[in-house]
């Protein structure tokens, strides 16, 4: 159980996590709380979507969809990877979620198949992001878009102390046969083109959460330990921040900071 993030918290956590974003006018007050008489929160998880369209910003922020008033998410994520904050209050994105799946999200357990006999209103308690993609299985999520997507999910999880077990895809919660998100991804970190799956997104978010918010995925650099080196001195000279010695330790499965010897080969994370 957690209190929805304030505008200041949204800005802080996204900036720390390296998400580039802009603010859609009115996002700090826009929401469906007054219209429905139901306040947003407490929050229990994050729901991911694709837009199934193009140029969807206006619809997601203010235009809405037939019989579905906007906002249609908290964040819109276009192909550029520069997120747009459209709301921090109640948004119409989740619809009815299967209660058994919802319980698993709250408990951060493996999600079961939807039991449609009992539902909860996902708009009460789930953050939502609409990522621009036609959803036809051919339209490609750009590298920048997927990277921002992982960071956005991780930023929320990090803020609330959640693992990636708190994030889900609409296709996993919906009782109406939703299929989003899906589609090919251009690449991520060292990975080339791959097919979007929630399993992969959760793995990528959990990997991010093992690192500081400033971390970037991808290529490692080889380094040979010199006499007098410590993990701290290597991190300070090669990564520009001695405190990142923990990343080097983790990347090389080292048990403690003293466990290096001259001549030893290490992998260094991206600067
Ligand atoms: Zn959806």
Q: Which domains does the chain have, with CATH numbers?
A: 7-209 (3.40.80.10), 221-268 (3.10.350.10)
User: What distance in Å separates the CA atoms of residue 72 and residue 235, rounded to the nearest whole number?
Assistant: 43
**What pLDDT does residue 1 have?**
63
Check pLDDT > 80 for residue 59: yes
- Rounded to the nearest angstrom, the distance between the alpha carbon of 208 and the centre of ligand 1 is 24
Give me ligand 1 centre to Cα 60, in Å.
Answer: 11
Average the pLDDT over 83-91 and give the result: 98
Residues forming beta bridges with residue 196, ordered by sequence position:
none
In angstroms, what is the span from residue 91 Cα to ligand 1's centroid?
12
- The reported pLDDT for the residue numbered 247 is 83
Q: What is the pLDDT of residues 147-180, one digit of tens each?
A: 999 999 999 999 999 999 999 999 999 999 999 9
Distance CA 219, CA 23 (A): 32
C-alpha 188 – ligand 1 centre gap (Å):
23
So what's the pLDDT on residue 150? 98
Residue 257 has pLDDT above 70, yes or no: no
Bridge partner residues of 126 (DSSP): 45
CA 261 – ligand 1 centroid, Å: 52
**Ligand 1 geometric centre to CA of 92 (Å):** 10
Among candidate residues 136, 159, 137, the one with its CA nearest the CA of residue 19: 159
Distance CA 97, CA 266 (A): 46
Ligand 1 mean position, distance from CA 237 (Å): 45
Is 80 exceeded by the pLDDT of residue 208?
Answer: yes
Output the CA 69–ligand 1 centroid distance in Å.
14
**Residues 254, 260: contact at Cβ < 8 Å?**
yes
pLDDT tens for each residue of 1-26: 699 999 999 999 999 999 999 999 99
Q: How far is the CA of 178 from the centre of ligand 1 (A)?
A: 7
Pairing of strands 45-50, 167-169: parallel
**pTM value surpassing 0.75:** yes
- The per-residue pLDDT for 113 is 97
Cross-strand pairs, 119 = 98
Rounded distance between C-alpha atoms, residue 104 and residue 120, angstroms: 13
Mean predicted confidence (pLDDT) in 59-87: 97
233 alpha carbon – ligand 1 mean position (Å): 47
- Span from the CA of 213 to the centroid of ligand 1 (angstroms): 27
Any idea what the Cα angle at residue 10 is, between residues 27 and 160, rounded to 5°? Answer: 135
Q: What is the pLDDT of residue 246?
A: 86
């Amino acid at each position: 159980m957690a209190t929805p993030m304030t505008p200041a918290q949204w800005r802080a956590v996204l900036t720390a996590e390296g998400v580039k974003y802009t603010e859609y006018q009115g996002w700090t007050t826009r929401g469906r709380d007054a219209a429905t008489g139901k306040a947003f929160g407490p929050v229990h998880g994050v729901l991911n979507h694709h837009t199934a369209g193009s140029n969807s910003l206006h619809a997601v922020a203010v235009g809405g969809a037939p019989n579905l008033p906007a906002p249609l998410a908290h964040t819109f994520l276009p192909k550029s990877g520069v997120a747009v904050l459209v709301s921090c209050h109640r948004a119409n994105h989740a619809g009815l979620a299967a209660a058994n799946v919802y319980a698993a999200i709250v408990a951060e357990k493996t999600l079961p198949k939807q039991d449609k006999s009992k539902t909860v209103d996902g708009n009460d308690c789930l953050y939502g992001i609409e990522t621009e993609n036609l959803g036809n299985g051919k339209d490609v999520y750009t590298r920048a878009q997927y990277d921002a997507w992982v960071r956005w999910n991780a930023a929320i999880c990090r803020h609330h102390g959640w693992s990636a077990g708190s994030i889900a895809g609409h296709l996993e919660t919906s009782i109406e046969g939703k299929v989003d998100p899906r589609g090919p991804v251009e690449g991520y970190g060292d990975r080339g083109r791959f097919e979007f799956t929630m399993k992969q997104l959760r793995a990528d978010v959990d990997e991010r959460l093992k690192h500081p918010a400033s971390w970037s995925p991808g290529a490692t650099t080889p380094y040979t330990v010199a006499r007098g080196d410590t993990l701290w001195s290597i991190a300070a000279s090669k990564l520009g921040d001695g405190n990142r010695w923990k990343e080097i330790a983790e990347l090389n499965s080292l048990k403690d900071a003293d466990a290096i010897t001259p001549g030893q080969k290490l992998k260094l994370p991206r600067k």
